[in-house]
Structures are given as structure tokens and as C-alpha cells.
Structure 1
Amino acid sequence: MLHEIGQPITVTTARKLRTAVEAGADNLLVMLNARIDLDGFEDWDIWWGANLGTPHERLVAGRVGDVRAELDTARAAVKSAAGWIMDLYLLRSASPRR
């Protein structure tokens, strides 16, 4: 689910992720990732997908601190197998500021 009923979702780029969080966003759909920098988001939840709808599709989900290594490995594997990567992720604070 992208968001809880009646709650906002912020759609942003990886480049503007920290600015959106500083502005109060705690449920974000992040696209256009040259790389994924999740420093400081260890306690957030992530639902990540790459090359969705293709034979090289990969999904990783969980608490960032728990799945970070798996995410890095999956991202590298998709890029190696397909020669390219198009990924996005939903990042949600474990303790929303509502």
C-alpha cells in the first residue's frame, strides 16, 4: 500500500530525498536513483523494486538497517544481468510524525 487512508505520500527523486524528509515527509516514493544513499534511514521501512515487469525484476523489503546489504547485492545483480537498472522505492518512517 502506498499510503495509509487519508495520509499523504511524497513522490520525489533520490536527489531531493533529504530535503523532503527535512520538510516533514515520512512516507516517500523515491525514483531516479543514480545510487541509493540510506545513511540515517536505518530504522525506516523500505519496499524496493528494480526493473519491474521484466525478467530481471527484483524486490527487497524490510527495515533498512536489516536489508541494506541485500539491497546493495540485489541492485548490483540486476544491473549485471540486465545491463541497466531502473529502480524505485517506498520509504516509510517507522514512527510517523502525524
Structure 2
Amino acid sequence: MNLKNFNYKKKNYIIQVNNRKLYIKPEEKKLSLLKILLIHRINIFYQCNSGYCGSCNIKLIYGTIYQFQTSIACIQPGYILACVCQIQSNIKIQI
């Protein structure tokens, strides 16, 4: 077997949103959670797209995210802002 031509499967993440599963492509992992949800036609309310207003807050039930920008919006514990987060594992959220 020629290992140069062997295609390794890249790990895809799964986002579970309100009993619906979204399969995330490897190139989408670099996008914010908000952009991923909009690409997959999930209706989510948002305004500023930079963590100031807090309108895109969603409840993170399980999973790991990376917050790439600090936000000034006040949010409740257990909630995240979709516009400033990237997924790091399979996650389950509630909108």
C-alpha cells in the first residue's frame, strides 16, 4: 500500500441544536459558531457580531469551545456568545 496516496479522514464535529444534528466540515472549524449556524440555516438572533451586544447568547449544554475574543456583554453562567466562539469538540447547544 502506498501511504502517500492514502487519504486520512479528518475528524468532523457534530453540533446538536434543539434535537437537530449539524455535521461540520473541517474547513468550517475555523469559523465562529454564529457563522456556522447561519451557513446551516439555523435561525439565531444577532446584531453586532463582535461580542458587544450579547444578543447571540446560547446555552452550552456540553462540549468545548474556544472564545477567541473577550466580550463586554453580560451573559448568564452556562451561556456563550456564538459570535466570539469557535468549536473545539462535539457540542450540544440550546437556542
Structure 1 length-normalised TM: 0.31
More helix by proportion, 1 or 2?
1
Q: TM-score, normalization: structure 2?
A: 0.32
Return the index of the structure with the highest Cα Rg. Answer: 2
